[in-house]
Structure 1
Amino acid sequence: MAAVDHLAKLLDLSSPATWPAPPRDTVHEVLGEWGPVGAELADLLLVRNGCYAFVSAFHLFGIAAEPTDHPADLVAWNSPTHWRSEYADLADGYLFFAEDVFGSQFALPATGDAVLLFDPETGTTTHFATTLAAWATTLFDDPAYHTGYPLAQAWQEHHGALPSDTRLLPKIPFFVGGKYEVDNLFPSDSATGMRTRAAVAAQIKDLPNGTTITFRTT
């Protein structure tokens, strides 16, 4: 049986490109220092320069041809003056290139030899795949889990289409037991959602496991 090209399958299921086709030189300038996986990502973006898939639960950032502060632009999204600076050193050394419906970030390490998953609630990273092709294959192994699309679909059935550059955040954070249910979700623009959780992640990063955490609302 022939192997399935899951990157091609992802594009078949995705929206039109969110950005016009970028100059090849621009793409390679942005991704040229991100190793072999960065080269794979460059090839992907030259075919589809950003997109949404799985009822907008999955978002692949594209590259704008000119400098912009738009959050859907890969360069702007990774700017040190954007949300990532509020994670202190937790977000250092990564290129964030895609996200699930909750804003969990798929990222490349500085070595460019893997795909990692960055948890915005805790600022921790876990290994996800060794290549971009393997990343796509793993997405399709369990797309409901890796993109959150069943909850995205359920939320949209109640509230309407999820706007661009919007993610669904938990009212009670998942890492302290918040439920993966529509009633525990609210929409937030992507950058605000990252900043909100960065404040918590930066405070808990040195706490030992099992520490009691109290959340106060005003």
Structure 2
Amino acid sequence: MARPARFDADQLLDAAVRLAAATGPGGVTMSAVANDVGAPSGSVYHRFPGRPALLAEVWLRTVERFQEGYFKALDTDVDARQAGRAAARHVVSWSRAHPEEAAVLLYGAGDFGRAHWPKEHVHRAEHGNQRVRTALAALAEALGAKARQDTECVELALIDLPLSLVRRHLRAGEPLPAHAEDLAEECATALLNSLPTNSASPPPPPAAP
């Protein structure tokens, strides 16, 4: 009977995330990951055929873990502005709970060698990006955004501003302050309230005769 693998893919990816958070994507090599977990280099190559596949999995696993809660927050079955506020808070709260993975997301896919990823990883990334675009477009429509400027306002409120707040503290080696989620929500609320009012929230019932 073959012995079970001593190091599974998640253990190796956890090590890669630690290295990326500490030294940047350039520090994520096959040998560095092996050294971090005390594994022979062959264990890493058994799980990942080469560094491009390793870097792709580091990026994609991190993004997909973040997106799981982000998509739930963006559920437009609830009030659209409430969904927007929840999405802005999620960016910060997830980063607080997962600081090393958040440090990975402060880079971009290009920093993790996207140009050299295997095709299946590129397709997986494109699928995830399209899901985000679709979810944000649905929320923007529910909020009454019609012009491109309005759509960019939604993207700024729910992606760029919360990430900039996270980036400022994590890149400085500081923990996120206790008020960070509230600040992200307040900024998102101010921007979303600048959009035209529409039927995102149902009208009040008519007064009784």
TM-score, length-normalised on structure 1? 0.24
State the TM-score, normalized to the length of structure 2.
0.25
Q: Which has the higher strand share?
A: 1
Q: Which has the larger radius of gyration?
A: 2
Higher relative contact order (CA 8 A, sep 6+): 2
Greater helix share, structure number: 2
